[in-house]
Every structure is written in C-alpha cells, then in structure tokens.
C-alpha cells in the first residue's frame, strides 16, 4: 500500500501524547519523519500548529492536530484500529480516558513545592485511582490481554504510554508503584505491550542513540 508522506512533530521525549502515534507507525512499518523538537524551539514552531499545541501531523503537506485524531488516523494506516463499530468504540473509550488523564496531569504542571505536592496527591486520590481501576475493569471485560478486538490496537499503545509515564518515577509526588498497586493487570499489560518486538526494538534504538 502506498502511504502519504507523513511528518510528526512532537517533543523529544520517549512518551507523552505523541508517542502512541510514533509507535503505531513503527509497528505498521509506515515511513514517517519523526520531527522531535525541544521546548526551547517551541516559540518559533508554535505558529505552525493548527491549535498551537503538540503533536501535529503533516500529511502530504496538510497539517492536522489533536493527538487522538492523529493516532486514530495512523492507527488505521497501520491496521491497529478496529473495523467493527463496537470494537472501535471500546478502543475510543480507552483513548479518551487516557486523554482525560493527560489533561488532569497537565493542570498540575507549572505548580511548585507544596502546591504541586497537594495537587498531585489530590490527582492520585480523586481521579487517577478511579481511572486506573475502571481501565483495569475494561481490560478484564475484553478478555484481559487487549482493550479491543482481541489484538493489539492503538488503545493498548495509549494506555501503555500513560502507565509507563506513571511508573517512571519522574513525576513528582506520584509513586512509581501506583499502577502496580492500584491496577496490577494494567502493569502486566504495560510490560506485555512493551515486549512487543517492534516496540522493544524501538526503545532499544532510542536508548542506543542517547
């Protein structure tokens, strides 16, 4: 299949909202320009983004934005998005739940010291534990291995990237053991998805390039 010319612009990070799209294209063997930018360069690039936010994707020169729109589009190209409407809805639910989690996390960015500690502790207790518990239930309802279609989809990539961030130990006042303690099945799911050969190779290459 001939794919369009793709250029994904996102932060030079091994995670975040743009990472599932990177992974989907990598798994699908879809050629794309992985344009990784620094935070310092953002003021110059911002005007290129339709909604002045990252990620954004150029498709044969036309630019689209919104991370879930992007990952659905490339997920379809990579055959990682269900064709069945119900399975697609299950996939979408997981995508949008994780987007909620990113938005809630983003609201704590920029806070410092005690204000950050208070906000992050409230985030964990009032939202994240609930979201993780419900996502674990959805995973169990779908058979316990994948979130939709009984196979790897972009929903699995999305949830894995979030769980990986929460388990990284790099988010102040969020215990890296949170996922394993609250939703051990999601922790197992994260490890299983990370062990997918194309994903494992992807992160190995990133580490080697450092």
Mean pLDDT, range 16-31, rounded to an integer: 97
pLDDT tens-digit profile of 170-184? 999 999 999 999 999
User: pLDDT value at position 207?
Assistant: 86
CATH topology of domain 6-79: Glutaredoxin (3.40.30)
Domain boundaries, the chain: 6-79, 85-196
Q: Which two tokens stand for residue 30?
A: 């879809």
Contact criterion met (CB below 8 Å) for 30 and 206 = no
The answer, yes or no, to whether residue 204 has pLDDT greater than 80, is: yes
When pLDDT is cut at 50, 70 and 90, the band that residue 29 belongs to is very high
Give strand ranges (E) for the chain.
Answer: 6-11, 33-37, 56-59, 62-65
pLDDT tens-digit profile of 52-73? 999 999 999 999 999 999 999 9
What CATH class is the domain 85-196? mainly alpha
User: pLDDT value at position 185?
Assistant: 98
Sole residue written with tokens 């790897």: 152
The rounded Cα 165 to chain-centroid distance in angstroms is 9
């Amino acid at each position: 299949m001939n794919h369009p010319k793709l250029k994904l612009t996102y932060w030079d990070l091994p995670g975040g909202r743009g990472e599932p799209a990177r992974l989907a294209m990598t798994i699908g063997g879809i050629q794309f320009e992985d344009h990784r930018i620094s935070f310092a360069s953002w003021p110059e690039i911002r005007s290129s983004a339709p909604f002045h936010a990252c990620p954004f994707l150029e498709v044969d020169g036309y630019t689209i934005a919104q991370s879930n729109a992007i990952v659905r589009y490339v997920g379809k190209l990579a055959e990682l998005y269900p064709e069945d409407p119900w399975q697609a809805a299950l996939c979408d639910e997981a995508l949008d739940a994780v987007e909620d989690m990113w938005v809630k996390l983003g609201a704590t960015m920029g806070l410092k010291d005690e204000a950050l500690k208070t906000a992050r502790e409230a985030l964990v207790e009032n939202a994240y534990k609930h979201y993780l518990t419900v996502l674990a239930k959805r995973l169990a309802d779908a058979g316990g291995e994948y979130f939709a279609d009984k196979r790897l989809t972009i929903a699995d990539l999305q949830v894995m990237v979030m769980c990986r961030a929460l388990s990284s130990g790099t988010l102040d006042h969020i215990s890296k053991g949170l996922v394993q303690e609250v939703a051990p099945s999601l922790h197992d799911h994260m490890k299983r998805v990370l062990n997918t050969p194309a994903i494992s190779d992807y992160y190995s290459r990133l580490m080697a390039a450092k």
